[in-house]
Amino acid sequence: MPATVAVVRCETYDESVVFEAVGRGLELLGGAGRFVRGGESIMLKPNLLVGATPDKVVNTHPAVFSAVAKHLQATGAQLSWGDSPGFGNALAAARKVGIAQVAEALGITYADFAEGRQVSFPEGELIKQFVIASAVLDADGLVTLPKLKTHALTRMTGAVKNQFGCIPGMLKGEFHMRMPDIERFAQMLVDLNRLLRPRLAVMDGVIGMEGNGPRGGDPRHVGVIMISDDLVAIDAAACRVMNLDAGLVGTITHGEQWGLGSASDITFVGDDIDEFVVSDYDVNRSRQATTDSGKPKGTLAKRLIVPRPVIDPAKCTACGTCVSVCPVTPKAVDWKGGKGVPPVHDYARCIRCYCCQELCPERAIDVRVPPLGRLLHRPA
Ligand code: SF4
Ligand code: SF4
């Protein structure tokens, strides 16, 4: 099916500017009423990774959340919002971001994603059963609000990946354990989205994150908001903006293959997407896999070739977040010299899920290719 992506210039997070840009994007697609109807209960799912102020560009900006919410409320839809961040409490994180205050001011109910229900999904190509936050299942529809960011595991994090937060808390770690290679992890995300079928995605690309994303990267001004009901297409559009080959992103290739959406047949409406391409966007464009793509865990090859998380002791404050979030038992990053000194990775146990890198609050963990991997994948 051909997809349509609305591309709208938005240079700042000034509330009225963002409101107008989102309104224009929705109109280009036929209006908000095409996606939600009066009286329906709609769940808003921002990208809420951790509690961080908007200048850190880790989360969906509250101005984007506010603009989408106001346009959807104008249709008469009843809104709630929720997420299950990688670490800590969603409401406390949202208060730091500013989303909680916006939601309260607009009368949008907070939905706790801690409780989930098992859902059978026989149509799943890979996963036939998920546990999904009950609040998501109880809503009539889901609207997802991804942020334009880089990601160590999936190269970029966008609309498809954002639904991982609909899986309650610790269960996310289980998926990393069951699917340590990137292709299967991406396939799981595609099945998850085929089950949840978000009605609409509004991507915050006003200021994106580049480099050591999704938490420890740097802000990069892009000046765009993109809107689509096709999540594969909007992620492919994000790749174009980042000057990243969409064929390297598993959620896009498998998403197209399994009928979630279209990456190859996209009609762009609104502003010219090529005006927003940042040719030197700092993103992983290497053809080298970020994980071991199905090789047995603990192989020598994996240890010597696949990119690994590395702690910078000069930046590490020994907070212990990486140890807490590591899904492996026994932990693949742990206190070896006692608490108070940086933890140490055990690369033989590490499954390369990069949760530690994703959630380190001090940007102290980098993902680096080991010397042999660099040698094998050097450009011809
Ligand atoms: S999460 Fe980061 S700062 Fe905290 S102990 Fe781990 S490496 Fe150090
Ligand atoms: S050490 Fe980091 S990358 Fe390795 S398994 Fe644990 S959280 Fe994942």
State the CATH number of the domain containing residue 355.
Answer: 3.30.70.20
- Tell me the mean pLDDT in the region 198-225: 96
* Final residue in a domain of this structure, among 243, 276, 309: 276
Does the residue 121 lie in any domain?
A: yes
Does the residue 284 lie in any domain?
A: no
Answer for the pair 232, 252: CB distance below 8 angstroms, yes or no: yes
214 preceded by a cis bond (ω within 30 of 0): yes
* Final residue in a domain of this structure, among 215, 241, 276: 276
Instruction: Give, as one character, the DSSP assignment of residue 45.
Output: E
Same domain, 351 and 236: no
Same domain, 251 and 326: no
Q: Is 333 in the pocket of ligand 1 (CB under 6 A)?
A: no
Closest approach atom of ligand 1 to CA 362: 3
Does the residue 286 lie in any domain?
A: no
User: What number of other Cβ atoms are within 10 A of residue 379's Cβ?
Assistant: 5
Residue 379 has pLDDT above 60, yes or no: no
β-partners of residue 142 are 43
Same domain, 75 and 109: yes
Q: How many A from CA of 333 to the centre of ligand 1?
A: 10
- Tell me the mean pLDDT in the region 38-42: 98
- Looking at residue 16, what is its pLDDT? 98
Of 54-63, 165-174, 306-315, 340-349, the least confident: 165-174
330 preceded by a cis bond (ω within 30 of 0): yes
Find the distance separating the first CA and the last CA of the chain, reported in whole Å: 37
Does the residue 288 lie in any domain?
A: no
Same domain, 93 and 169: yes
Same domain, 13 and 77: yes
- Looking at residue 86, what is its pLDDT? 72
- Label the pairing between strands 41-46 and 78-81: parallel
What is the Cα–Cα distance from 162 to 185, expressed in whole angstroms?
13
Residue 344 has pLDDT above 60, yes or no: yes
Q: Is 353 in the pocket of ligand 2 (CB under 6 A)?
A: yes
Phi-psi map region of 92: left, alpha, beta (phi>0 left; psi -120 to 50 alpha)? alpha
Same domain, 311 and 212: no
Mutational test site, ligand 2, from 356, 357, 359, 366, max ligand atoms within 8 Å of CB: 356
Answer for the pair 266, 3: CB distance below 8 angstroms, yes or no: yes
Residue 88 has pLDDT above 90, yes or no: no
What is the Cα–Cα distance from 2 to 121, expressed in whole angstroms?
25
- Tell me the mean pLDDT in the region 211-222: 94
Same domain, 202 and 312: no
What is the Cα–Cα distance from 372 to 161, expressed in whole angstroms?
30
Does the residue 281 lie in any domain?
A: no
Same domain, 316 and 215: no
Structural domain boundaries enclosing 360: 300-376
* Final residue in a domain of this structure, among 244, 260, 276: 276
Distance of CA 137 to the CA centre of its chain: 20
- Tell me the mean pLDDT in the region 330-359: 92
Instruction: Give, as one character, the DSSP assignment of residue 33.
Output: G
Residue 20 has pLDDT above 80, yes or no: yes
What is the Cα–Cα distance from 127 to 125, expressed in whole angstroms?
6
Q: How many A from CA of 161 to the centre of ligand 2?
A: 19
* Range among 146-160, 261-275, 344-358 rated most confident: 261-275
Closest approach atom of ligand 2 to CA 331: 6
- Looking at residue 292, what is its pLDDT? 46
Average pLDDT for the chain: 92
Number of alpha carbons in the 13 Å side-chain half-sphere of residue 166 = 36
Among the listed residues 191, 193, 242, 188, the one whose alpha carbon sits nearest the alpha carbon of residue 213: 242
- Total domains in the fold of the chain: 2
> Helix %, strand %, coil % for the chain, to 5?
35, 20, 45
